[in-house]
């Protein structure tokens, strides 16, 4: 049986080069980076080298990069400190954000009695920028949190436009860029954003490490207290091998960005073409079928299948060796409808199976063709 992995939006395989670098660090650089002896200084140097590498690709200063356990911790750090320490009383977000934003905002509302506003989206999941401006026309101290690339439908936010709008209204702007860092160039001197979150395992790095960009002099304060690691923002002994891994993964992602993006986009284009040609009545959720308005890494497709077939579709794909998901990996074990799709699909379409297929440099045209053949077989079967 073929084993085909099309769930790269959930996590990506680690590059061999990254594994090799991390292995060498684990073997030879085991000193605590807070120690003053040579072993500790060697580990500290590796951490700072990785920090400078990341800062260079984002065009920011190294001191504005703080390592975390991943995107969720980074999102929590920004939202919690903004409310607790920066006197934010109003969060503007959307109902199609990752749960790291939605659930954190709702918890902050309970704890601090802040207000939450949700910007309107259209039938393709696009943000209504005019409505965002209307929501920003307030005297309240406001934080806007909108993701750059939606993890379920792949829509790409005009992040620079939102940053400029927020600056105009003197609001703070945070973006969950977990699906875009390593896949899109972000010059944070050109984009006046205050905070962003990223995670290594979305661009062929290790799990359990990410970073938060915190604009200098923002006033943000720690979420985790203890030692003085990470410039006091994030206490705890640093995971040196993971930090080296994220730096190396990002370096490889950006050094090879053009050629790898062209390759992966070719897979997506081929997939869309064959789906439209061979499966009548299929359609794409959000803007995921539009190569200009969505990320090149994923497609979210609604299949013309009965409710009876829908219930077992992912299981049947898994039996054929195909890994994919119905939405965020964080809710893959849930029987609930995707909160993202529920915002703009009709009740009838929500009964049909919507599946997210996400691609990487390790996929092939042959794998895409195998996936198409399996989908056709499952749709046409009478069982």
Helix (H, G, I), strand (E, B) or coil at 99: helix
User: Radius of gyration (Cα) for the chain, nearest Å?
Assistant: 21
Asked if residue 243 has pLDDT above 90, the reply is: yes
**Residue 354 β-bridge partners:** 302
Length of the chain: 383
**CA–CA gap between residue 283 and residue 275 (Å, rounded):** 9
pLDDT recorded at residue 327: 62
- Mean pLDDT for the stretch of residues 192-211: 98
Contact call for residues 301 and 284 (beta carbons, < 8 A): yes
Count Cβ atoms below 10 Å from residue 280 Cβ, excluding itself: 8
Q: What is the per-residue pLDDT for 190?
A: 98
Query: In the predicted model, is pLDDT for residue 329 greater than 50?
Result: no
Q: So what's the architecture of 16-255 in CATH? A: 3-Layer(aba) Sandwich (3.40)
| 93-102, 135-144, 322-331: the lowest-pLDDT one | 322-331
- Of the residues 166, 287, 324, 330, only one is catalytic, namely 330
Mean pLDDT, the chain, rounded, equals 94
Q: What are the residue ranges of CATH 3.90.1150.10 in the chain?
A: 4-12+257-380
Q: pLDDT class for 332, splitting at 50, 70, 90? A: very low
* pLDDT value for 382: 59
Q: What is the pLDDT of residues 109-153, one digit of tens each?
A: 999 999 999 999 999 999 999 999 999 999 999 999 999 999 999
pLDDT at 350: 87
Residue 93 has pLDDT above 90, yes or no: yes
SS3 breakdown of the chain: % helix, strand, coil, rounded to 5? 45, 15, 40
330 annotated active-site: yes
CATH 3.40.640.10 intervals, the chain: 16-255
| Mean pLDDT score, 285-302 | 97
| Dihedral pair phi/psi, residue 107, rounded to 5° | -65, -40
Phi, psi angle pair for 357, to nearest 5°:
-110, 125
Question: Residue 186 has which token pair?
Answer: 């972000």
pLDDT of residue 143: 98
Give the strand pairing for 195-199 and 210-214: antiparallel
Least confident of 1-5, 47-51, 148-152, 324-328: 324-328
Least confidently predicted of 73-87, 200-214, 316-330: 316-330
Q: Is 336 a residue whose pLDDT tops 80?
A: no
Q: Can you give the pLDDT at residue 131?
A: 98
pLDDT at 306: 77
Return the ∠ at Cα 335 (arms to 332 and 337), rounded to 5°: 90
Residue 43 has pLDDT above 80, yes or no: yes
Residue 279's nearest CA partner among 352, 383, 328, 365 is: 352
Residue 75 tokens, joined: 């999102």
Beta-carbon contacts of 346 under 8 Å, excluding residues fewer than 6 positions away, are none
Quick one: how far is CA 123 from the chain centroid? 22
Q: Which helix (H) or strand (E) holds 299?
A: strand 298-302
Asked if 303 and 282 count as a contact pair (C-beta separation under 8 A), the reply is: yes
CA angle 173, 114, 217 (to 5 degrees): 35
Q: Is the Cβ–Cβ distance between 191 and 159 less than 8 Å?
A: yes
Q: What CATH architecture does domain 4-12+257-380 belong to?
A: Alpha-Beta Complex (3.90)
213-230: per-residue pLDDT in tens?
A: 999 999 999 999 999 999
Confidence of residue 331 (pLDDT cuts 50, 70, 90): very low
Neighbouring C-beta atoms of residue 269, cutoff 10 Å: 12
- pTM across the whole model: 0.95
- Strand partners for 210: 68, 199
Tell me the per-residue pLDDT of 28-37, one tens digit each, with 9 for 90 and over.
999 999 999 9
pLDDT cut 90: percent of the chain above it: 88
Tokens of residue 177, six digits: 């860029």
Q: Which two tokens stand for residue 353?
A: 């199976």
The residues pairing with 350 across neighbouring beta strands, listed in sequence order, are none
Percentage of the residues of the chain whose pLDDT score is greater than 70: 97
The Cα–Cα gap between 275 and 279 comes to 5
């Amino acid at each position: 049986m073929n084993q085909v992995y099309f769930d790269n939006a959930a996590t990506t395989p680690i590059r061999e080069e990254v594994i090799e670098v991390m292995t060498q660090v684990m073997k030879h650089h085991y000193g605590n980076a807070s120690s003053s002896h040579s072993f500790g200084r060697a580990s500290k140097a590796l951490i700072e080298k990785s920090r400078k590498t990341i800062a260079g690709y984002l065009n920011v200063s190294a001191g504005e990069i703080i390592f975390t356990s991943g995107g969720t911790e980074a999102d929590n750090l920004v939202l919690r400190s903004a409310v607790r320490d920066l006197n934010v009383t109003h969060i503007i977000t959307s109902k199609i954000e990752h749960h790291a934003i939605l659930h954190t905002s709702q918890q902050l509302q309970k704890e601090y009695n802040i207000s939450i506003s949700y910007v309107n989206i259209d039938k393709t999941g696009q943000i209504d920028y005019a409505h965002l401006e209307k929501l920003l026309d307030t005297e309240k101290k406001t934080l806007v949190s909108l993701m750059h690339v939606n993890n379920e439908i792949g829509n790409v936010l005009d992040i620079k436009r939102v940053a400029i709008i927020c600056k105009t209204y003197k609001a703070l702007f945070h973006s969950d860029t977990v699906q875009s860092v390593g896949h899109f160039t972000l010059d944070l001197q050109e984009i006046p954003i205050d905070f962003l979150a990223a995670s290594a395992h979305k661009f062929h790095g290790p799990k359990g490490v990410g970073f938060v960009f915190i604009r200098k002099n923002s006033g943000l304060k720690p979420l985790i207290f203890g030692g003085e690691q990470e410039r006091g923002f994030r206490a705890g002994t640093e995971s040196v091998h993971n930090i080296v891994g994220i730096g190396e993964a990002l370096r490889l992602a950006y050094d090879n960005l053009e050629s790898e993006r062209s390759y992966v986009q070719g897979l997506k284009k081929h997939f869309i073409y064959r789906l439209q040609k061979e499966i009548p009545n299929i359609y794409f959720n959000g803007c995921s079928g539009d190569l200009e308005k969505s990320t090149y890494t994923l497609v979210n497709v609604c299949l013309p299948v009965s409710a009876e077939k829908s219930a077992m579709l992912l299981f049947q794909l898994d039996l054929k060796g195909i890994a994919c998901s119905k939405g965020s990996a964080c809710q893959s074990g849930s029987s609930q409808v995707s909160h993202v799709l529920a915002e703009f699909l009709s009740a009838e379409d929500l009964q049909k199976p919507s599946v997210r297929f996400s691609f990487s440099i390790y996929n092939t045209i042959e794998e895409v063709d195998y996936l198409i053949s399996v989908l056709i077989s499952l749709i046409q079967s009478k069982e």
